[in-house]
Amino acid sequence: MKRLHRFGPWAGALVLLVLGAAGCSNQQVSRIDPGTVTDLSGRWNDTDSRLVANALIEQSLLGPWLDRYATGHGGDAPTVIVGDFRNRSQEHIPVQTFVNDLESAYINSGAVTVVASGKEREDIRGEREDQQEFARADTRAALGQELGANYILQGELSSIADEEETMRFGATRKEKIVFYQVDARLVDLESNAVVWAGQHKIKKYIERKPFGL
Amino acid sequence: MNRMAMLAALALLAGCVPKKVNEQPIMENDQVVPDASATVAAASAEAERRRAEAGASRDALRAEALASCAPAICDAVVRGEVALGMNEVQVLAATGSTEDAWSIRRSGASLVMVPMDPRVVPEDVVGNLAMVQLTDDRVSRYGYAEAQGVRLVNEPFDATAEGRAQAVADQLMREGDELAARGEFDAALNRYDRVSILNPSDPMVDFKIARVLDTALRPYEALIQYQLFLHRLEIEKIEARGEAAAQLAEAIALAQQRIVILERQAR
């Protein structure tokens, strides 16, 4: 007790420091607006996905291809199938986020009819075939009534990175430029003609200063 | 103490390495990126306007087209198929298009309709229309843009399944001849095989297949095809179509000659 008393003021400060440090590591979760820009690491994030989706939606829904199709087909909306979007960047990027945004915009605008693609179609056909055997006759979904698509939406995401480390007095400063380019195309399924091409580019500058300066 | 100050100064200096990029950011943390709902709403309103306008125009055309048509023409309009004898309004109704979709040129009693935009071609249930010609306000000829070129419908037979098969077979035969002349024998055989399905009664297809096989140094198959060709002609003779067979005299002679040679080689 006597020994502890001898370190009294120091021990108190130490305890306070430990408590303070422990307080700093407390986890805190808060809901924030999904539209808020929150860049932490500099890698591809939700803001990039949203920017790409917004740009492609605007370019495609306000593009002349819709008017052209409607003029040739008595005002009908074109039918589009969403094909592959390839990620050719060096990062793992879930491209489906902005592709789904684009698909939703097509459907909700009513300007484009979207048909189910790939695996979805197989599942639906399986269900329909199942109905032919087990469902009541007047409630069966008819066979051979699928909509054929006029166009297929395809695209790819590419990236280019450039970085440099600068050393001075043993401290390192890192600078990095990442460039993302998303290209989307609508291709006529009969003629292979590209009827619309959209593009969005994002360039990021990421700087890591030494000592948090 | 001095050492500590020195270290701190070094650290500060290290932090002051000049930036390589001095562009101002266009977006920073805590800004908000709006979603695309305004764009979607604008596109939706535009699509609705377009649909309403075109729908009203299409309904009016359809009513006018069906108001006074002969039964066969009415049937074709309802099926969505262009037919000989239709008027301009009936063509528009059958294709579900409006005048905006066509470039319409009039010259005397003749009127020619071609697609306004080659990328978006009006279509009926049969296919994409390349042109429609009207004489005295009645369709006298129309053509479909097909894989082998434009297929014309000049008379009622051309619009039937048989007529279409005949036209496609003729186009494939021409394509096969061109490929054979270029020495692309596999591709030529592919076209001739397709012709033989569409038009199985034409012995000339067998002769051409035999010639290509013979030239491509496939003697056994060529022999069979030459024999099949002569066999078909015999059947045709029995069917009293001697005139047609006579026109093939040269082909018959050649086939017989090649059979002899190929059989000798086979021995």
Residue A8 lies in a domain: no
Segment A134-173, tens digit of pLDDT: 999 999 999 999 999 999 999 999 999 999 988 877 788 8
Stronger pLDDT, B15 or B132, i.e. the higher one: B132
CB contact under 8 A, A54 and B39: yes
By residue range, what is the domain housing residue A60? Answer: 41-156+182-198
Return phi, psi of residue A130, to 5°.
-60, -40
pLDDT at site A22: 59
Domain count, chain A: 1
pLDDT along chain A (213 residues), means of 10: 57 70 74 92 93 95 92 90 93 94 94 91 94 94 92 96 85 90 95 95 90 56
Residues of A in contact with B42 (CB under 8 A): 61-62
Residues of B in contact with A47 (CB under 8 A): 27, 33
A102 to chain B: closest CA residue: B36
| Mean predicted lDDT score pLDDT of chain B | 86
Is B266 strand, coil or helix? helix
Residues of B in contact with A57 (CB under 8 A): 36, 39-40
pLDDT at site B236: 63
CATH label, B160-266, candidates 1.10.10.10, 2.40.160.40, 3.40.50.2300, 1.25.40.10: 1.25.40.10
Residue A93 lies in a domain: yes
Closest partner residue to A72 (CB to CB) among B31, B44, B122 is: B122
Q: Which two tokens stand for residue B108?
A: 């005397």
Report how far residue B52's alpha carbon sits from residue A74's, in angstroms, rounded to the nearest whole number.
Answer: 10
**Residue B14 pLDDT class (50, 70, 90 cuts):** low
Closest partner residue to A50 (CB to CB) among B17, B33, B96 is: B33
pLDDT at site A126: 95
B62 to chain A: closest CA residue: A74
CB burial string B2-30: b at 16+ within 10 A, e below:
eeeeeeeeebeebbebeeeeeeeeeeeee
- A 140-159 near B (Cβ less than 8 A): none
pLDDT at site B250: 78
CB proximity A192 to B under 8 Å: no
CB proximity A2 to B under 8 Å: no
Residues of A in contact with B23 (CB under 8 A): 205
CB proximity B246 to A under 8 Å: no
pLDDT at site A6: 58
Q: Which two tokens stand for residue B222?
A: 């060529």
B122 to chain A: closest CA residue: A72
A109 in Cβ contact with B158 (< 8 Å)? no
A111 to chain B: closest CA residue: B47
CB contact under 8 A, A67 and B122: no
- B 103-132 near A (Cβ less than 8 A): 115-117, 119-122, 128
Q: Which two tokens stand for residue B21?
A: 């990029």
Closest partner residue to A51 (CB to CB) among B16, B28, B33 is: B33
CA distances from A40 to A29, A210, B30, B116, B122 (A): 16, 17, 12, 52, 52
Three-state SS annotation for A178-199: EEEEEEEEEEECCCCCEEEEEE
Q: Which two tokens stand for residue A29?
A: 């979760």
pLDDT at site A1: 47
Mutate to test the interface with B, among A169, A187, A202 (most CBs of B within 10 A): A169
CB contact under 8 A, A36 and B122: no
Determine what percent of chain B is predicted with pLDDT higher than 70.
Answer: 90
User: In this model, does residue B140 exceed pLDDT 80?
Assistant: yes
Return phi, psi of residue B29, to 5°.
-55, 145
Signed CA dihedral, A139, A145, A151, A152: sign only: positive
User: Among A1-10, A37-46, B67-76, B126-135, which is the least confidently predicted range?
Assistant: A1-10
Q: Per-residue pLDDT averaged across B148-152, rounded?
A: 87
Residues of A in contact with B50 (CB under 8 A): 67, 70, 75
**Residue B3 pLDDT class (50, 70, 90 cuts):** confident
CB contact under 8 A, B43 and A62: yes
Mutate to test the interface with A, among B31, B35, B113, B125 (most CBs of A within 10 A): B35
Segment B230-261, tens digit of pLDDT: 888 776 665 545 555 556 677 888 888 888 88
Residue A79 lies in a domain: yes
pLDDT at site A129: 95
Report how far residue B237's alpha carbon sits from residue A159's, in angstroms, rounded to the nearest whole number.
Answer: 72
Question: Domain-by-domain residue ranges, chain B?
Answer: 56-154, 160-266
Stronger pLDDT, B159 or B232, i.e. the higher one: B159
ipTM for the predicted complex comes to 0.78
CB contact under 8 A, B50 and A75: yes
CB contact under 8 A, A109 and B96: no
Residues of B in contact with A36 (CB under 8 A): 30-33
User: In this model, does residue B64 exceed pLDDT 60?
Assistant: yes
Residue A3 lies in a domain: no
CB contact under 8 A, A109 and B33: no
